[in-house]
Amino acid sequence: MSELKRMVVNVAVATVWTMPESPRELDAPALQRPVGLREWLESMTVDDRLDLCESNRVQSQLLYGTEVLAAEERGEWVQVLIPQQATPKNELGYPGWVPRCQLAEATGAPAGAKRAEVIADKAWLYANPDNSSEQLLELSFLTSLPVLDQSGEWIKVHTPEGGEAYMKADEVRLTDGLPAAPRRDAGGGHAGHAVVEQAKRFLGLPYLWGGLSSFGYDCSGFAYSMHKYAGVLIPRDASAQARHGQLVEREQLEPGDLLFFAYEEGKGAVHHVGIYAGDGQMIHSPESGKCIELVDLSSYRLAKEHCVSRRYV
């Protein structure tokens, strides 16, 4: 493989496609810059959303400011590897294709810069703190940008294009970047409670195959993102998540543990993951046409497929 070039995502959420030929005509809003994410999501029927999976169109997603490695360019497309999304598919990171217009050459963050990470469900990026009507981009939960300066209620950040913009201080937290130490919940409990605490904020959010943003998560993207909030990076896909972490017996489950479900009543391939929420309940992003929900494990329709549980926090 030739030398990999560092690039950075310059749209609010970039969808990572299986191949350049994968998008359909109706996916055009998701391929643009600026990305028409809400337009795309609202235009799709349940069958359209199912087809993202059934036709193997989408692999994952990327948030604004995420660095990737460019492995190949083909016309208006770039094949990327995503170091933050671990996978057995490639040791350098999750592979897939992104429109060239949704990537910028990585300019490098200012030396020693902290990062401003969105902890609101969504947050706006502003051009000017003196005029909050100058909204540039609506950002997803966990979007992270290098900090240039902080003054009162505003934080100046470095954008992927090499410019400057502003975020509201009460919508972000300052970090030193990943990996971070596991974060406790608001009451000081262990990090598993923080995972569940954040997960419950997204109850009712529609499922999206390949989704890795607060505009829509798939099952493993939901588990990945809630753990990332808690300072723990786990593999991107459920099948890989099920092979790592600490094995947990059913009677020893604690909030934040991951529950995996496999075909053939637990004996086949892993196809789903949920987060144990305590008291015999699970929170998960179930499938296309449904929303993130809290369910009782005893009556959950896939209860017989529960095959293994893992702890990462």
Write the pLDDT tens digit of every residue in 242-260. 999 999 999 999 999 999 9
Q: Residue range 210-224: average pLDDT?
A: 98
- Marked catalytic residue, from 158, 193, 227, 284: 284
Question: Mean pLDDT throughout 190-212?
Answer: 95
Q: Which sign, positive or negative, has the C-alpha torsion 164, 167, 169, 175?
A: negative
What is the model's pLDDT at position 3? 81
**Biggest distance spanned by C-alpha atoms of the chain:** 59
201 in Cβ contact with 275 (< 8 Å): no
Which pLDDT score, from 0 to 100, does residue 152 have? 87
- Does this model's pTM top 0.85? My answer is yes
Sequence-distant (6+) residues with CB within 8 A of 112 are none
Which residues lie closer than 8 Å to 14 by C-beta, 6 or more apart?
35, 61, 62, 98, 99, 102, 103
User: Per the residue annotation, which of 158, 272, 306, 307 is the catalytic one?
Assistant: 272
Percent of the chain's residues with pLDDT above 90: 88
pLDDT of residue 178: 54
Q: Which domains does the chain have, with CATH numbers?
A: 5-105 (2.30.30.40), 115-175 (2.30.30.40), 191-311 (3.90.1720.10)
Task: Give the pLDDT band (50/70/90) at residue 205.
Answer: very high
Asked whether the predicted pLDDT for residue 287 surpasses 50, the reply is yes
CA dihedral of residues 53, 56, 61, 67 (deg, nearest 10): 160
- The model's pLDDT over 103-153, given as tens digits with 9 standing for 90+, comes to 999 887 776 779 999 999 999 999 988 877 789 999 999 999 999 999 889
Distance CA 28, CA 145 (A): 27
**Given this model, what pLDDT does residue 131 score?**
76
- Is-catalytic flag, 272? yes
Catalytic status, residue 219 = yes
Q: How far apart are CA 313 and CA 310, in angstroms?
A: 10
Percent of the chain with pLDDT over 70: 95
- Range list of H helices, the chain: 37-43, 46-54, 191-199, 219-229, 238-241, 263-266
Mean pLDDT of the chain: 93
pLDDT at residue 188 tops 50: no
Are 47 and 70 contacting, i.e. CB atoms less than 8 angstroms apart?
Answer: no
| Category of 58 on φ-ψ map: left (φ > 0), alpha (ψ -120 to 50) or beta | beta
From the list 219, 227, 306, 307, the catalytic residue is 219
Which tokens hold the place of 290? Answer: 């449904």
Distance, in Å, from the CA atom of 202 to the CA atom of 197, rounded to the nearest integer, reads 10
